[in-house]
Amino acid sequence: MTQLLTRPEAAARPAPAPTRRARRRRRVPTHLTLLLVCGLWTVPVLGLLVSSFRPAYDISTTGWWRAGEGTLTTGNYRDVLATGGFGTALVNSLLITVPAVAAMVVVGSVAAFALARMSFAGRRAVTVAMIALLALPLQMTLVPVLRLYNAAGLTGTFAGIWLVHLGFGLPFAVYLLRTFFAGLPEEMFEAAALDGASTLTTFLRLAVPVSGPALASVAIFQFIWVWNDLLIALIFLGGDPGVAPLTVAVSNLVSASTGQGWHLLTAAAFVAMAVPMVIFFALQRYFVRGLLAGSGK
């Protein structure tokens, strides 16, 4: 005869694990919510894409959602690429963005490692100050920095815009990288110290090789921010076509007085986003890992 379990024994028995079908059913609401959010996010992008292949008259009379009633053409892209100075602006954007992002990653990683792994007087105060700078509005610093630039002769130069982007983007880079370096196992650095490795050797041969996800996340964020910047470029570079980036060239496609040429903005937007999209998809496997760096430690 089978022995009956008492109440305490029955309560102690573990609940049966949910089946695969049950787990799938639980994920259905989450998947539906994600699909809805992605669909709503895609609608304006789809409208921009359709409008970039339609003439201005068709867009203004029928709307992008009725693209089947009009004609599709690549004339907007041809006009954008044939616009004088657009190729130069593309090269200028690369000359501005690549060195600025490289400087942010290098300087930010060194500063973050020092704040996370080195003991010195005032380290806590410096860390708090760097985090506080994240909340400082960018617009508050434009006038005093521009006056200093005019006095130093840095206005309208690539070196000047590199320093501006480095100063504005460094707090975020230091904050993210410091979180990653602080979450690394302490045993790694103790073993390096026992082997006689210096601080520089520990940073270059131990910390940097394992910090690829965090460095990639910083590079993606800063690249997109610098590439899409218009305000800082207008203030510190001006409208000189010789140094103006792509955002300035795109804004000049539309006449401020008559509004003519607005249909070219749709095609110019996709041309401008091509390079950031390539960078993002090339580094996307590191992106989420970098954002979650140190969160589970």
Report pLDDT digits (tens) over 3-19: 544 555 445 555 555 67
pLDDT band, very low/low/confident/very high, at 120 (cuts 50, 70, 90)? confident
In this prediction, residue 13 carries a pLDDT of 56
Rounded CA-CA distance 116/70 in Å is: 60
For residue 37 the two structure tokens come to 């959010």
Which one of 3.20.20.70, 1.10.3720.10, 3.30.70.3040, 1.20.1250.20 gives the CATH number of domain 95-291? 1.10.3720.10
pLDDT band, very low/low/confident/very high, at 242 (cuts 50, 70, 90)? confident
Rounded CA-CA distance 230/248 in Å is: 6
pLDDT band, very low/low/confident/very high, at 288 (cuts 50, 70, 90)? low
For residue 130, what are the CA distances in angstroms to 136, 171, 230, 250? 10, 5, 25, 34
- Among candidates 103, 78, 98, 87, which has minimal Cα distance to 244? 87
Rounded CA-CA distance 107/173 in Å is: 9
In this prediction, residue 2 carries a pLDDT of 47
The pTM of this model reads: 0.79
Tell me the percentage of the chain whose pLDDT exceeds 90.
Answer: 15
Is residue 56 within 8 Å of residue 263, measured between CB atoms?
yes
Residue range 146-170: mean pLDDT, rounded: 91
In this prediction, residue 43 carries a pLDDT of 87
Which of 68 and 126 is assigned the larger pLDDT? 126
Looking at every residue in the chain, the average pLDDT score rounds to 81
Residue range 214-225: mean pLDDT, rounded: 88
**Is pLDDT above 50 for 295?**
no
Residue range 167-185: mean pLDDT, rounded: 87
For residue 82, what are the CA distances in angstroms to 12, 59, 202? 76, 22, 51
pLDDT band, very low/low/confident/very high, at 289 (cuts 50, 70, 90)? low
Rounded CA-CA distance 107/261 in Å is: 41
Residue range 82-96: mean pLDDT, rounded: 85
The C-alpha angle with vertex 178 and arms to 219 and 212, in degrees rounded to 5, equals 45
Residue range 167-193: mean pLDDT, rounded: 87
Question: What is the three-class DSSP state of 146?
Answer: helix
Range of lowest pLDDT (150-164, 198-212, 282-296): 282-296
Is residue 216 within 8 Å of residue 286, measured between CB atoms?
yes
Rounded CA-CA distance 69/82 in Å is: 28
Angle, in degrees to the nearest 10, between helices 158-182 and 86-117: 40
Residue range 25-37: mean pLDDT, rounded: 84
Rounded CA-CA distance 25/229 in Å is: 44
